[in-house]
């Protein structure tokens, strides 16, 4: 049986960040559109590596209804094979596009596990830190987030998948450690979003279990973000390449919304927004 998440003492009683309040104010989840300025991301590596295509794609995400644009300059593909890059290389990839993306007028999150990169992005106008290692990889990350008073997405991750573990307990323990790090650094708990890290350090079965039992993590009392878009677990129920997984992505995200997800991270923004709005409209008729 999985352990029940323990509540940690809140060191900062600050109200929720205005940006998060706005994103969480409606009846269906906010949608975070994905912009990878990388040559090797699992789904769209190289498509938006050059500044022109990257900015045009960001414009398209806004036009399709994205509430946030999540910009990443290093592939963190969950199945290995990505080439690690230095923080200076991440910054080099971000410099030509980030300020132009910020000028589009919707919040930008920076998808990086490196505090130096996040600091650069925040200086350029990004508004949210998105750490795929949940404040547990770069020791400077929590201090940076606390000093800048920005929302932070804390994602569960593992170096390797282990089919033998209780993944729900592992995730709960990971989040408890992350929240302890955040509290000690002085991050207001109200500014933290939890991400189960679908596909990261998990077997396909464990990713599906995490989605099926997503409401377990509501015990932490924090907003939940889910990014199941185009992930490989979808292909285990019907072989499909990443760009052919739209149906599975939407199914996973609708289930996540039913289980309490407040933010959905997606590649296919227009279709995801339509599905979430329709589901909410139908639910309103009950």
- Angle in degrees, CA 234, 137, 94, rounded to 5: 75
> E strand or H helix at 175, and its extent?
helix 167-185
String of DSSP letters for 182-219: HHHHT--GGGEEEE--TTTT--HHHHHHHHHTGGGGGG
Q: Please state, in angstroms and as integers, the Cα–Cα distance from residue 214 to each residue in 17, 117, 275, 280, following that order.
A: 24, 30, 19, 18
Active-site residue, selected from the candidate residues 77, 202, 231, 259: 231
Residues 6+ positions from 49 with CB-CB distance below 8 Å? 37, 38, 39, 93
Active-site residue, selected from the candidate residues 93, 158, 202, 265: 265
7 is catalytic: no
Task: Find how far residue 267's CA is from the centre of its chain.
Answer: 12
169 is catalytic: no
Kindly state the tokens that stand for 279: 């589901």
3-class secondary-structure state, position 19: helix
- Nearest-angstrom CA–CA distance, 122 and 191: 16
Q: Phi, psi (5° rounding) for residue 12? A: -125, 120
> E strand or H helix at 154, and its extent?
strand 152-155
- Nearest-angstrom CA–CA distance, 4 and 126: 34
Residue 175: how many CA atoms within 13 Å on its side-chain side?
Answer: 32
What single-letter DSSP state applies at residue 8? P
Catalytic residues: 231, 265
């Amino acid at each position: 049986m999985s352990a029940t998440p323990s509540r940690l003492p809140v060191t900062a009683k600050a109200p929720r960040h205005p940006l998060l309040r706005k994103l969480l104010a409606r009846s269906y989840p906010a949608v975070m559109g994905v912009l990878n300025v990388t040559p090797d991301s699992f789904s769209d590596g190289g498509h938006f590596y050059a500044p022109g295509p990257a900015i045009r794609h960001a414009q398209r995400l806004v036009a399709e209804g994205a509430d946030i644009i999540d910009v990443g300059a290093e592939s963190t593909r969950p199945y290995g094979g990505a080439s690690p890059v230095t923080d200076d290389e991440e910054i080099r990839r971000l410099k030509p596009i980030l300020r132009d993306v910020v000028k589009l007028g919707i919040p930008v999150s920076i998808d990086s596990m490196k505090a130096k990169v996040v600091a650069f992005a925040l200086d350029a106008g990004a508004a949210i830190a998105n750490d795929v290692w949940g404040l547990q990889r770069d020791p400077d990350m929590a201090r940076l987030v606390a000093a800048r008073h920005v929302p932070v997405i804390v994602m569960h991750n593992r170096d390797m998948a282990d089919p033998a573990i209780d993944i729900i307990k592992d995730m709960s323990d990971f989040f408890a450690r992350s929240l302890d790090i955040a509290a000690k650094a002085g991050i207001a708990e109200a500014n933290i979003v939890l991400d189960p890290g679908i596909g990261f350090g998990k077997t396909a079965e464990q990713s599906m279990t995490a989605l099926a039992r997503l409401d377990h993590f509501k015990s932490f009392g924090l907003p939940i973000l889910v990014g199941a878009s185009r992930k490989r677990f979808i292909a285990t129920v019907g072989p499909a390449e990443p760009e052919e997984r739209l149906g599975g992505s939407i199914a996973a995200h609708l289930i996540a919304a039913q289980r309490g997800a407040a933010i959905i991270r997606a590649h296919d923004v227009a279709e995801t927004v339509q599905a979430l709005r329709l589901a909410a409209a139908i639910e309103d008729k009950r």
